Chain A
Amino acid sequence: MKMKSFNFVAAGAMLLACAGALTSCNGGPGKTLYDGDITADTRGTTIDLWTGFGAAVTADLQEVLDDFTAQTGIKVTHTSKNGYENLQSAINLSASTSTYPNVSVGYPDHFAGYIDSNIQLSLDGFIGSDSLIPATRTGTATDSSASGTFTELPAFDYSDFYSSYLTENTSLKYKDDGTGYVMGIPFNKSTEVMVYNKTFFGADVIKTAGIALPTTWDEVKAQSDKILNYVKTKGVYGKVLASDGNVYATAADIPSADTILLDFTSVAEGAFYPLSYDSQANWFITGVRQWGGVYTSVDKDTMKGYIHFYDADNKAKTKDFLTTLNTAYQAGDLAIPATFAEASYCSAHFKIYQSLMNIGSSAGVSNCVPAGDAFQVACAPIPYKTADKKFVISQGTNLCIFDKGTNAERVASWKLVKFLSQVENGKFATLSGYFPTCKSALNSAIYQEFITSTAGSSTDKVNRSAATVNASIYSADSANWQKFVDPGFNGSSTVRNSVDTVNAQVFISKTDIDKVMSDQYNALADYVPQA
């Protein structure tokens, strides 16, 4: 009898003690700590990084990775899977055999899948315990037994990031109290900008003719009509327009004091469109928002996604958007890649004077620089509908860490994430043309130098121009632009790929908008909300 009660009391005491120990481990409510040893020495570890970057960005990334190895002694093996779809597919197929990498990049809908497959780690623990990493150690980056002091990376500041980039990463997996886990850290962000022919729009002759760079979609229609009219009445097709306002037969006939404004020797009537837009999916998604509609939404509890762009509430707005654009398209003002009877980018045609304004990703503006610098290019914000709905899409991936490897490898992965997203993000931005993800990267010496200098090739200049649009216009509070991202859910890329074809069907095949939309809803039946 006595033994039993003793056991009971002892057990109860132990239970209470454990409970007390647990709460003290927790570090207090709301703050998560890393469950391993974050102070482990990571020098000499090797980790894997998978991305989907092309050759150019891979080279830029490698430079930053070399800096990382020099500063931390951690070796990184980078593999590019050539495209985000291949990357996503490769990671998903490695889930069951645990052959995924330590670190990778991805969009929110990719992450939704990785979370389901139970391979992605939440980063709250790393963020919470980051300050516990010792600031210095003995030795050098490569040799822990040498003499000297080795400095670890600076501490991580989560609040430094632009909040618009953080929401998409905290809307994927929720804690019991309703707040979201941090599943990724922003890495390479871009947006859409309008690249325009600066030589043309800046010419006095053109300004006198009343042609200016449009800022709203209504202005786009008006100005494009003006441009088409001007070009037609002046008879520029097949010839060359010079800065003195005259039309000459070939470029060689222009007086030496003047410059070429429009070289239409290979451009006939009907092959010229004042404004071209590269990504149709972006156009549709941005347009739906700009006209006040809703594109998709996610149910927080089930993490299931639904489409809303043509339901009862949004039907009129989406239809108005498509009709407005269609009118402009049929008038010859607009072009999409399919207009040129190839699936290539419009930038190829922008470079040969077949369009004067091209809306595309800020990361691809260097593709708009014409051969031999035939004309100057600069960037401007994309057109909007009304001043209260200045929406522009924010694109780009985030870094994530997978459940793999020893403790040292996990801590090393965290350090890589820190480095790429914050410590050297500014340098990466200057090299690759992506935008800085946090204020410290924006204000870093290297980025400021890049953005304020006037030297460099045309490619540098146009990259700088795009960066300025982002920094001074899109990010400025006064300009009232809102960078948006759509919620990521399993299948959001399927929805996106499907709406990518809407514009071409409406403009080129001239299919009735209601029919196109009902086809879309049929194809995306999985994502239509059940009444």
Chain B
Amino acid sequence: MALQHESDQYFATPEQMRRYKSAQTIRTILIYAFLGLLGVFIIVPFVFMVITSFRDPDCYDWDTSNKIFNLIPQWWNSKYGRPNYTLDNYSTVFTYKSSSGNSINFGLYYANTLYVSIVSTAFTLVTSVLASFAFARCEFKGKNLLFAILLATMMIPGEMMVITNFQSVKSLAWENTFASLIFVTGVSVFYIFYLRQTFQQIPNELFLAAKVDGYGHFRYLWKVMVPVAMPTIVTIAILSLMGAWNAYVWPNLVASGTNPFTGTSMLLVSNGLMSLFQNTDTGLSHDTVRIAGSVVVTLPLFVFFLIFRKYIMRGVSRSGIKG
């Protein structure tokens, strides 16, 4: 006589099932409401950013000084007799002159940043995989001590290392080269830690079976561990890429001039954005132009995220091994 609900609950009477169903519906509605509310809270700054980047600067000023709040203003502005929206901000962003007197070249910045992000991610992956493998799979004297030391370094404030690293970079003649951007910040204990957790969850039986098949350690790493932990590795790659894209403090210090080998500027998109922010020239220091610059810098990352969203989500949800 027991009725079965789709969620594997059994009820004695239809009455109970109905009550459960309505409670379930209320619960679902509440959950969606909560998520929706928070989602709006998260989305508002983005919407604001995108809309404001298209707004005419004078109209925007007039709006804010006249104490009118408009998230999405209407098309026509009566005071200035022209549309509220314009592409001027973007053209300003792409054509202004930086303090070296050269006109800005966001195309070059994208290229630079892309190159640095990809190569440094590759470097990070190689070192992280090898190091995590050593900590997870191998036994050697001093393993725990070494890992503890590395863990401790995660707690160091980055500022402590900046000055000394800057001088080391100068001594190595890496200033204004890609090497300084890739190798110095490339090894990340954070990712080694994360990957080690994942590697540790690979059952020992797999290793023994592979050993029987004649696999050495490194072959096991390449043929078994990496494929099994691929979701985590992909996650690390994506996170590392995103981190490299937004990096500012270190690149600004160490590589903001001209590359001695290629003769081109080493600036990254974050430098471009900061020079927009710091510029006191009235045409450039306007909020709408700065926001347009922010959108320009954020957009590629956002597009990248949309494309690889499935991998990130899948990687995250499978970074543990079940069963």
Contact = CB atoms under 8 A, between A and B. Distances in A.
In the complex they form, whether A and B have CB atoms below 8 Å apart is answered with yes
Interface of A: 53-56, 58-59, 62, 79-80, 82-83, 93-94, 96-97, 99, 266, 344-345, 348, 367
Nearest to B62: A266
B99 A93 contact: no
A403 to B, nearest CB: 17
Given A99-B175, A266-B65, A367-B282, A80 B100 contact: yes
Contacts of B62: 266
Chain B interface size range: 20 to 34
B91 interface: no
B320 interface: no
Contact of A59 (B101, B163, B175): B101
Contacts of B100: 55, 58, 79-80
A106 to B, nearest CB: 18
Given A266-B66, A348-B282, A97 B170 contact: yes
Interface of B: 62, 65-66, 97-101, 163, 166-167, 170-171, 175, 257, 275, 278-282, 285
Contact of A54 (B65, B99, B166, B175): B99
A367 B99 CA distance: 17
A252 to B, nearest CB: 12
A55 B65 contact: no
Contacts of A99: 170, 175
A80 B66 contact: no
A97 B97 contact: no
7 interchain residue pairs of minimum CB distance:
A97-B170, A55-B99, A54-B99, A99-B170, A58-B101, A80-B99, A97-B171
B29 to A, nearest CB: 42
Contacts of B282: 348, 367
B281 to A, nearest CB: 7
A487 B221 CA distance: 65
A345 B280 CA distance: 9
B290 to A, nearest CB: 13
Given A55-B98, A58-B101, 5 more contacts: A55-B100, A55-B279, A97-B167, A99-B170, A348-B282
Nearest to A348: B282
15 contacts: A55-B97, A55-B98, A55-B279, A55-B281, A58-B99, A59-B101, A79-B257, A80-B100, A82-B278, A83-B278, A93-B163, A96-B167, A97-B171, A345-B280, A348-B282
A58 B101 CA distance: 7
A405 to B, nearest CB: 17
Contacts of B65: 266
Contacts of A58: 99-101
A93 B281 CA distance: 29
- Chain B CB count within 10 A is highest, among A82, A83, A266, for A82
A192 B111 CA distance: 44
Nearest to A347: B282
Contacts of A53: 99
Nearest to A271: B65
Contacts of A367: 280, 282
Nearest to B162: A93
B215 to A, nearest CB: 48
B257 to A, nearest CB: 6
B286 to A, nearest CB: 10
Nearest to B278: A82
Contacts of A62: 101
Nearest to A93: B166
Contacts of B166: 93
Given A93-B166, A97-B171, A266-B65, A82 B280 contact: no
Nearest to B163: A93
B101 A55 contact: yes
Contacts of B280: 54, 345, 367
Nearest to A77: B258
Contacts of A345: 280
